Amino acid sequence: MTISGLKGRSLLSLRELSGDEIRELLAKAADLKERTALGVNVPALAGKNIALIFLKPSTRTRVSFVVASTQSGAHPEIFNGDDIRFGVKESVRDIARVFGRVFDGIMFRGYEHATVAEFAQYAGVPVWNGLCDSYHPTQVLADLLTLRENFGDLEGLPLTYVGDGRNNMAVTLAIAAAKLGLDLRILAPKPLQPDPELIKELLAGRESERARVLVTESPEEALSGSACVYGDVWVSMGEEDQTQERIDLLRDLKVTSDLMALTGREDSIYLHCLPAFHLLDTETAIAHPDIREVDDEVFEGAQSRVFDQSENRMHTAKALMQLTIAG
């Protein structure tokens, strides 16, 4: 599938892409992944320069975009918040225009969505949202590629997100469901359920009649027939003061083998955007043992595809950069 309409465009939330454009990105990523496995990297971005801006730190976003850039022939340059100091001595729009004059594409990982949207408005080159408080589109592209590898066609595929249904992952998965026809179930306690008006809006604009977003507190309803159980941390970066409250709300939704069995499918898989709390081997888990959102048995088990998913961050980043810069 070739649409050839992505050159020069930014990715801020997935809303700006059609379902067919997302499919084109996934097909490109799958092709590049096959080539990489054969030791063949396409230098489609030779001579290009890529800025990677991290107002929020990251492991997967950083390694995926650095390797994707270099394997594409481009030079990546990393900036953190102290390097740029948005809004301290220089406005977002001015910094965006400085970067846009010298870089061919920019990955921006920050906080408020309005900041990355303003940056993209003034940069004049493709800007890719590596995460903000509202959306995480580069992660969801990797999720979709992983689902495609395991199940083929995504239309009508049942997928269950377990956790805080208001967060950037749940919202971006809901956008993907409306675009591609996924049967998304969001399993969350009422205080952590997404805005019903948002779900109504997304479904009103759905591109497939098979698109569905069900929000429920019932594990049985959410998991029956589901091809994939998707986990996430219960406390996002910057919400540490809400740790005990989140544990109290979500402890009964910890992903265990018993919860996975509620899918009733032998081929169901487990995904997680990482990092995950599944052992008592981190400072956070030692301090709060009940914060572990998934049993180690599931995380390390035969149904887990979390490290395939993590690797796919790089392949989808490569496809995104090549299609939006080189076409």
Active-site residue set: 109, 136, 139, 232, 273, 313
CA dihedral 71, 72, 74, 76 (to 10 degrees): -50
DSSP string, 82-109: HHH-BTTTB-HHHHHHHHHHH-SEEEEE
The DSSP element (H or E) to which 53 belongs, if any, is strand 49-54
Residues 259, 229 contacting (CB under 8 angstroms): yes
Q: How far is CA 126 from CA 50, 99, 104, in A?
A: 10, 11, 7
- Candidates 321, 309, 324, 327; CA nearest to 140 is 309
Rounded distance between C-alpha atoms, residue 10 and residue 2, angstroms: 18
- Candidates 263, 162, 254; CA nearest to 214 is 162
For tokens 């970066």, what's the residue? 237
Q: How far is CA 44 from CA 106, 176, 320, in A?
A: 16, 27, 12
Residues 216, 185 contacting (CB under 8 angstroms): yes
Residues 123, 94 contacting (CB under 8 angstroms): no
Rounded distance between C-alpha atoms, residue 76 and residue 52, angstroms: 7
Residues 188, 217 contacting (CB under 8 angstroms): yes
Residues 152, 160 contacting (CB under 8 angstroms): no
Which three-class secondary structure state does DSSP give residue 248? Answer: helix
